C-alpha cells in the first residue's frame, strides 16, 4: 500500500512494479502516457488502493491528519467503481475486473452472459479453466489467435464434461458441438479443416456459443 511508503520512495516503487520509467508523478506525466501506460497505472493503483479507517493528528503546529489503518477490500471496491465509470466509455469500452485487470468490455449479449454465475462443478478442471478462457478472450492485449485459443479452452472443458453431457443432451446435439470444434479449425490442424470463414465475426460467436452451452449444461447437470 502506498500509504505505508515514504513519499520519497513512491517513485522508485512505482517504476519497479511497472518496470517502466518516466511515469511518476502521475499528475505531471499522465498527458504523456500511451494507452498501455495508462492502463498499467490503473492496474497498479488498484493493487495499492485502500480506504483509510484509522487516523491520528500530529498536533500543532502542523495540524495534519495521519492514517494508520486501512481497509484494502473497501478501497479497491470504491476505486474500481469510479474507474469503471470512466473507462467503460473509452473507445469500445473497458472494465477493471475484481482481479485488478483492465479487460475489454464485450458486447451487451456476451456481457450479460458473462455476468451469470457458473455452477461449481469441478474447480480445477472446469471452473478455473472457464475463468482462464474468459480472461484470455477479454484481455486488452488479446489478438485474434488469443481469442481463438480461448474458444479452444472452452471446447476442452466440454471434452472433460463429455460423459455428463450424454446425460443431459441428445446424441445429435452432442455430436454437433464437437463437429464444429473438430472440423472448423478450432482444435485440429489438417487439410480437411474448414477455415474459410471470417474469424473476426465467427470467433466471438463461437466463444459465446460454447460459453452459453457450458453454462446451460452445468445447470442441467447440477439438477440431475
Residues 6+ apart with CB under 8 A from 110: 204, 207, 208, 211
The predicted model scores a pTM of 0.78
pLDDT digits (tens, 9 = 90+) for 123-153: 999 999 999 999 999 999 999 989 989 999 9
In this structure, what C-alpha cell is assigned to residue 223? 439438477
Residue-level pLDDT at 65: 60
Residue 90 has pLDDT above 80, yes or no: yes
Quickly count: other Cβ atoms within 10 Å of residue 95's Cβ.
19
Residue 182 has pLDDT above 80, yes or no: no
3-state DSSP call for residue 51? strand
The sign of the CA dihedral 189, 194, 195, 199 is negative
Please give the Cα distance from 44 to 49 (Å, whole number).
9
3-state DSSP call for residue 62? coil
Residue-level pLDDT at 5: 53
Least reliable range by pLDDT among 29-33, 69-73, 123-127, 197-201? 197-201
Contact by Cβ (8 Å): 95, 102? yes
Residue 59 has pLDDT above 60, yes or no: no
DSSP state for residue 186 in the 8-state scheme: S
In this structure, what C-alpha cell is assigned to residue 29? 506525466
Q: Which of 43, 45, 11, 8 is nearest to 28 (CA)?
A: 11
In this structure, what C-alpha cell is assigned to residue 208? 459465446
Residue-level pLDDT at 165: 77
Amino acid at each position: 500500500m502506498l500509504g505505508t511508503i515514504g513519499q520519497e520512495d513512491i517513485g522508485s516503487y512505482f517504476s519497479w512494479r511497472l518496470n517502466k520509467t518516466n511515469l511518476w508523478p502521475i499528475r505531471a506525466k499522465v498527458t504523456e502516457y500511451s494507452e498501455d501506460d495508462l492502463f498499467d497505472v490503473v492496474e497498479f493503483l488498484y493493487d495499492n488502493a485502500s480506504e483509510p479507517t484509522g487516523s491520528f493528528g500530529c498536533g500543532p503546529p502542523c495540524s495534519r491528519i495521519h492514517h494508520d489503518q486501512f481497509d484494502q477490500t473497501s478501497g479497491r471496491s470504491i476505486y474500481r467503481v469510479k474507474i469503471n465509470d470512466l473507462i467503460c466509455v473509452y473507445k469500445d469500452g473497458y472494465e477493471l475486473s475484481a482481479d485488478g485487470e483492465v479487460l475489454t468490455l464485450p458486447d451487451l449479449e456476451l456481457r450479460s452472459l458473462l455476468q451469470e454465475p457458473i455452477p461449481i462443478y469441478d474447480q480445477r478442471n472446469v471452473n478455473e479453466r472457464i475463468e482462464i478462457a474468459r480472461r484470455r478472450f477479454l484481455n486488452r492485449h488479446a489478438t485474434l489467435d488469443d481469442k481463438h485459443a480461448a474458444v479452444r479452452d472452452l471446447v476442452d472443458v466440454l471434452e472433460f464434461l463429455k460423459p455428463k453431457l450424454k446425460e443431459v443432451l441428445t446424441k445429435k446435439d452432442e455430436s454437433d458441438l464437437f463437429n464444429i470444434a473438430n472440423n472448423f479449425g478450432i482444435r485440429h490442424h489438417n487439410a480437411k479443416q474448414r477455415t474459410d470463414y471470417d474469424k473476426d465475426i465467427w470467433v466471438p460467436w463461437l466463444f459465446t456459443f460454447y460459453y452459453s452451452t457450458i453454462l446451460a449444461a452445468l445447470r442441467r447437470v447440477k439438477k440431475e
